[in-house]
Chains A and B, each alone.
Chain A
Amino acid sequence: DTAVSQTPKYLVTQMGNDKSIKCEQNLGHDTMYWYKQDSKKFLKIMFSYNNKELIINETVPNRFSPKSPDKAHLNLHINSLELGDSAVYFCASSLGQHNQPQHFGDGTRLSIL
């Protein structure tokens, strides 16, 4: 029944490691997003994809690489993790363009030791 699902919910790892977060939506949406919410709760877009095509890449370090195998999935791979990467990462989806309502997943809390 889950509309936008992310895995894992929690990720604790050491600096320098590589990790991936997966996202899937069953809403029939064609646009998917990754957001980062920092410790001050500020929610900032990182990437968006429409029908597997990258639309937005908001000055994110190239250690972050999104991949969209199909329009229902958007994964995020992070290389060489740094302390500043600790945050909650949210996946979201919408039907059509960015000015349509977006539905969020439950988030992945990433903690770097």
Chain B
Amino acid sequence: QKEVEQNSGPLSVPEGAIASLNCTYSDRGSQSFFWYRQYSGKSPELIMFIYSNGDKEDGRFTAQLNKASQYVSLLIRDSQPSDSATYLCASAGSGYSTLTFGKGTMLLVSP
């Protein structure tokens, strides 16, 4: 069974710090990886996606992928209290294989 594992947290960081969120996946055939942010009572919102090994940066967010270690991470620089939310990691194989979500990591950024 395909699984995506995340530490449920909460991960607490002070405002302005770097938040590091991690995720591992079990399916070696996974090719696409996504990070979604979900505020309490709201829908998941796509933050980043990454397909290739290495880093991908978008503003304050950097996604990192290491397929050999089956590991994905999301770094949030200069964390803000508005970043406080649950971050969902997801992976998908090729074609119409299922998108599998982790259970999410709660991030708390304190002022």
Residues of A within 8 A of B (CB): 40-45, 48, 50, 55-56, 58, 90, 97-107
* Contact with A103, one of B46, B88, B92, B101 (Cβ below 8 angstroms): B46
- A107-B43 contact given A43-B88, A44-B101, CB 8 Å threshold: yes
Residues of B within 8 A of A (CB): 31-32, 34, 36, 38, 42-46, 49, 86, 88, 92-99, 101, 103-104
Write out the residue numbers on chain B whose beta carbons fall within 8 Å of the beta carbon of A90: 43-44
Pair B43/A106 contact, Cβ less than 8 Å: yes
How far is A63 from B88 in the complex, measured between Cα atoms in Å? 28
Q: Which residue of A lies closest to B51 (CB)?
A: A99
B31 to chain A, nearest CB (A): 6
Q: Which residue of A lies closest to B99 (CB)?
A: A98
Write out the residue numbers on chain A whose beta carbons fall within 8 Å of the beta carbon of B98: 45, 56, 58, 98
- A56-B96 contact given A41-B104, A44-B101, A99-B31, CB 8 Å threshold: yes
B53 to chain A, nearest CB (A): 16
Write out the residue numbers on chain A whose beta carbons fall within 8 Å of the beta carbon of B103: 40-42
B47 to chain A, nearest CB (A): 10
How far is A41 from B43 in the complex, measured between Cα atoms in Å? 11
How far is A105 from B34 in the complex, measured between Cα atoms in Å? 17
Write out the residue numbers on chain B whose beta carbons fall within 8 Å of the beta carbon of A45: 98-99
A42 to chain B, nearest CB (A): 5
A25 to chain B, nearest CB (A): 13
How far is A105 from B44 in the complex, measured between Cα atoms in Å? 8
